[in-house]
């Protein structure tokens, strides 16, 4: 048993920051790009802002569909990285990339070939549908690029090459801003394309992101991304283990993605002012998630690495402290967002009723975000440790038994005020946090996939009285 104060906090904090800060900066850069997008589209009117916001919800559904493979991939990447198993990393990346790109191509086809169908699902407002269709037909081509870059970023982060994705995001955001300015308003003799110009800018940004990540990885001789032949050396046993571990993560992301789509459909059938406020809120929400993603990624990598190397007690201690640090960081981010919300909402064209709704949404979210992000960090930590079941079952059960019925009842039957409907999206979080903490302290989530980790598992379980 470790003595009080024996845990090397200074070294631990440094190792967290090395991963968390670049990841957080990358996500904040992306969020900044989204904020700039909204600000530059704002002069086109609240209807345009709302349409882009609903298109973003379709993109979020795509993220949910492929995020299960990201989570599953990072489980294997981080543990194989800890075990120094290069072959395992290469094979896991090959499977992950193939699965993710399949999702990207499906959503690309839906956006470019059936945009009317997509928009009719998300809203019944004809004016918003028409704008969204024009945007989706072009932005759909960005989806495969975004997914390819995400796959590369997941591998780079898991192998502690976190600066490369940050540089990719920096150049991507710069490209997006420049092309937005040129094509939305028609500068330097170029046509003023409006919404379609913003879509073209997103495609160009996605292409630049891929090229920068690829070039920097090649320059730093990051062999995993370019060992193409090794990516497809799959065995039946490996594929069985990969999909067995990923199955519950995939189920989680797909079921939650569908649940969130239903929520967005309900929200998309409220007033146009509420739809515009929601679009702006989603952009600002990315600011909080940017902070969260840094610490969550650090948790996945640092805990998964130690488990893969067989240092299970170290992984257990790291997990507890990482979750505490994440909650503290999110609290600070929320306080900052509350402090600066007024100018942010005004600069993104919210006025009158839409501004009032936007303020209410931010206040509700900032109260809920600390709990929600703590739950997410718990889940990401469990996944990286090999336990993809517990958090998945909890999230799906509470989403379909509590959140969806409450949102649908208040939004479609009772026609409650919009903020009441919105608040129902978070009613499950406190209960899940209690259950997550209980599971964390039990240690049952430590489930290695490497020989080193499995060899140390019996002793770890015996210490905690686990069977």
7 within some domain = no
- Dist. CA 45–CA 272, nearest whole Å: 11
362 within some domain = yes
Cα atoms in the Cβ-side hemisphere of radius 13 Å centred on 257: 18
Give φ, ψ of 95 to 5 degrees: -65, -45
pLDDT for residue 218: 86
15 within some domain = no
Cα atoms in the Cβ-side hemisphere of radius 13 Å centred on 189: 0
- Interval 84-122: pLDDT, tens: 888 888 888 898 899 899 989 999 999 999 999 988 888
pLDDT for residue 4: 44
323 within some domain = yes
pLDDT for residue 438: 93
72 within some domain = yes
13 within some domain = no
Q: Which tokens in the block code for residue 465?
A: 């009285």
Q: Total domain count for the chain?
A: 1
Helices 126-139 and 195-219: angle between axes, nearest 10 degrees: 30
Enumerate residue ranges in the chain where pLDDT < 50.
1-5
- Dist. CA 393–CA 235, nearest whole Å: 29
pTM for the whole thing? 0.69
- The residue segments making up the domain with residue 280 are 22-463
317 within some domain = yes
62 within some domain = yes
């Amino acid at each position: 048993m470790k003595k009080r104060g024996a845990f090397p906090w200074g070294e631990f904090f440094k190792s967290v920051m090395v991963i968390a800060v670049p990841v957080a900066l990358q996500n904040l850069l992306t969020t900044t790009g989204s904020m700039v997008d909204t600000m530059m589209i704002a002069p086109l009117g609240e209807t345009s802002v709302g349409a882009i916001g609903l298109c973003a919800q379709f993109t979020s559904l795509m993220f949910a569909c492929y995020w299960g493979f990201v989570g599953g991939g990072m489980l294997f990447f981080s543990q194989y990285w800890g075990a120094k198993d290069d072959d395992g990393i290469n094979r896991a990346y090959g499977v992950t990339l193939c699965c993710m790109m399949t999702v990207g191509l499906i959503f690309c086809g839906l956006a470019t070939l059936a945009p009317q169908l997509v928009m009719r699902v998300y809203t019944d407002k004809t004016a918003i549908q028409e704008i969204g269709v024009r945007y989706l037909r072009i932005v759909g081509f960005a989806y495969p690029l975004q997914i390819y870059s995400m796959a590369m970023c997941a591998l780079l982060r898991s192998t502690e090459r976190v600066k490369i994705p940050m540089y990719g995001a920096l150049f991507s955001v710069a490209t997006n801003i420049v092309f937005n300015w040129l094509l939305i308003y028609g500068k330097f003799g170029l046509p003023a394309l409006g919404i379609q110009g913003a879509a073209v800018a997103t495609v160009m940004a996605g292409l630049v992101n891929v090229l920068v990540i690829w070039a920097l990885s090649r320059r730093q001789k990051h062999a995993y991304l370019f060992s193409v032949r090794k990516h497809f050396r799959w065995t039946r046993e490996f594929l069985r283990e990969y999909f067995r571990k990923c199955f519950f993560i995939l189920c989680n992301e797909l079921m939650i993605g569908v649940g969130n789509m239903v929520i967005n459909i309900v929200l998309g059938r409220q007033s146009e002012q509420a739809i515009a406020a929601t679009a702006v809120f989603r952009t600002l929400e990315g600011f909080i998630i940017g902070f969260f993603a840094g610490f969550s990624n650090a948790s996945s990598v640092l805990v998964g690495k130690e488990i893969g190397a067989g240092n299970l007690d170290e992984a257990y201690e790291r997990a507890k402290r990482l979750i505490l640090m994440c909650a503290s960081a999110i609290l600070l981010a929320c306080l900052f967002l509350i402090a600066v919300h007024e100018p942010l909402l005004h600069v993104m064209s919210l006025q009158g009723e839409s501004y009032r709704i936007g303020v209410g949404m931010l206040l509700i979210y900032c109260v809920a975000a600390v709990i929600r992000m703590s739950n997410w960090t718990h889940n990401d930590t469990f996944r990286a440790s090999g336990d993809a079941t517990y958090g998945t079952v909890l999230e799906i059960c509470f989403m379909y038994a509590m959140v969806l019925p409450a949102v649908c009842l208040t939004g479609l039957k009772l026609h409650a005020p919009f903020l009441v409907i919105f608040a129902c999206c978070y009613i499950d979080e406190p209960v899940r946090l209690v259950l997550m903490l209980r599971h964390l302290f039990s240690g049952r989530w430590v489930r290695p996939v490497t020989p080193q980790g499995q060899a140390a598992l019996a002793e770890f379980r015996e210490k905690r009285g686990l069977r």
